[in-house]
């Protein structure tokens, strides 16, 4: 299998949430923890390795040379899910999205401002008066499958970047290190949604964040807990 170049985060490596979701789909349990070990390479042959253990199935994504791109296994949450943003909070957050002025990876599949409708998700979350980020978002029809729903990797991608913006990409460049996520219901293309992200803790170069995706009626579709790692921007350009 390969990670198609369109599913990038930084220009030359895979979108963290999308690749973590690929791993999560292979595990197939309700809640999955995916850990990325190296920047996921694009458009090169990769392979799956399934290793069953007493605590559930461990799945690895490997390069042709045997390097571990990422691994995933059944997971669990440590914190309470972020509450749904109200319509006014989401509207304010969307208008305040910092990525329009400064963006470390403006071609990111999830939150890149240089991607067009139907090419990237264009999911934009900005700071609000509550101290978190939020935004309204409607998935483009191009991301719906035969049943009109987003697949697992794309839904994980939607749960990804709001965590990075909660930790503020404009203050430091970060990439996703670990993501625990659950998709309760796949979003439907064309369905108006609300996204939210919260920074929970900073420990040196590590940032713990939480995200969630809701319908406008308040139905929780998916949630995630993440660890972001501050990196040298020069290493990803």
Q: What is the pLDDT of residues 11-52, one digit of tens each?
A: 999 999 999 999 999 998 999 999 999 999 999 999 999 987
Closest to 39 measured CA to CA, from 6, 76, 11, 80: 11
Average pLDDT over residues 68-80: 97
Residue 54 has pLDDT above 60, yes or no: no
Closest to 17 measured CA to CA, from 151, 188, 200: 151
At residue 55 the predicted structure's pLDDT band, cuts being 50, 70 and 90, is: low
Residue 237 has pLDDT above 90, yes or no: no
- The count of structural domains within the chain is 1
Residues 6+ apart with CB under 8 A from 198: 82, 131, 132, 133, 166, 209, 210, 211
pLDDT the model gives residue 52: 73
Residue 103 has pLDDT above 60, yes or no: yes
Contact 58, 52 (CB under 8 A): yes
Residue 236 has pLDDT above 80, yes or no: no
Tell me whether residue 61 is in a domain: yes
Tell me whether residue 103 is in a domain: yes
Tell me whether residue 8 is in a domain: no
At residue 233 the predicted structure's pLDDT band, cuts being 50, 70 and 90, is: confident
> Structural domain of residue 194, as residue ranges?
16-236
> CATH number of the domain that 35 lies in?
2.40.160.210
pLDDT the model gives residue 207: 98
Tell me whether residue 112 is in a domain: yes
Average pLDDT over residues 215-236: 93
Measure Cα distances from 151 to 66, 90, 147, 163, 224 in Å: 27, 24, 10, 20, 16
Distance of CA 25 to the CA centre of its chain: 14
Strands laid side by side in the 68-74 sheet: 46-53, 56-63, 68-74, 31-36, 174-183, 220-230, 206-215, 193-203, 133-137, 126-127
pLDDT the model gives residue 7: 98
How high does pLDDT run on average in the chain? 96
Tell me whether residue 129 is in a domain: yes
At residue 88 the predicted structure's pLDDT band, cuts being 50, 70 and 90, is: very high
Residue 111 has pLDDT above 60, yes or no: yes
Tell me whether residue 86 is in a domain: yes
Average pLDDT over residues 147-153: 98
User: Considering the chain, what percentage of its residues have pLDDT values greater than 70?
Assistant: 97
Contact 224, 159 (CB under 8 A): yes
Tell me whether residue 210 is in a domain: yes
Tell me whether residue 6 is in a domain: no
Reduced to 3 states (helix: H, G, I; strand: E, B; else coil), residue 194 is strand
Residue 153 has pLDDT above 80, yes or no: yes
């Amino acid at each position: 299998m390969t990670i198609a170049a369109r599913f990038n985060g930084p220009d030359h490596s895979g979108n963290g949430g999308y690749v973590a979701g690929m791993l999560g789909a292979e595990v197939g349990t309700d809640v999955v923890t995916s850990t990325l070990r190296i920047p996921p390479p694009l458009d090169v042959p990769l392979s799956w390795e399934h290793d069953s253990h007493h605590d559930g199935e461990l799945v690895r994504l490997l390069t042709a040379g045997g390097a571990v791109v990422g691994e995933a296994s059944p997971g669990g949450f440590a914190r309470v899910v972020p509450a749904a943003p109200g319509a006014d909070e989401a509207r304010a957050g969307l208008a305040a999205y910092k990525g329009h002025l400064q963006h470390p990876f403006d071609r990111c599949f999830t939150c890149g401002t240089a991607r067009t409708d139907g090419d990237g998700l264009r999911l934009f979350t900005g700071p609000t008066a509550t101290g978190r980020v939020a935004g309204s978002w409607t998935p483009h029809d191009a991301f719906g499958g035969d049943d009109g729903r987003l697949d697992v990797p794309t839904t994980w991608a939607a749960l990804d970047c709001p965590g990075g913006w909660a930790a503020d990409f404009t203050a430091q460049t970060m990439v996703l290190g670990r993501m625990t996520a659950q998709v309760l219901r796949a979003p439907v293309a064309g369905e108006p949604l609300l996204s939210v992200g919260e920074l929970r803790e900073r420990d040196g170069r590590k940032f713990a964040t939480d995200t969630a995706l809701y319908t406008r009626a308040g139905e929780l579709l998916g949630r995630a807990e993440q660890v972001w790692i501050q990196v040298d921007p020069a290493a990803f350009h």
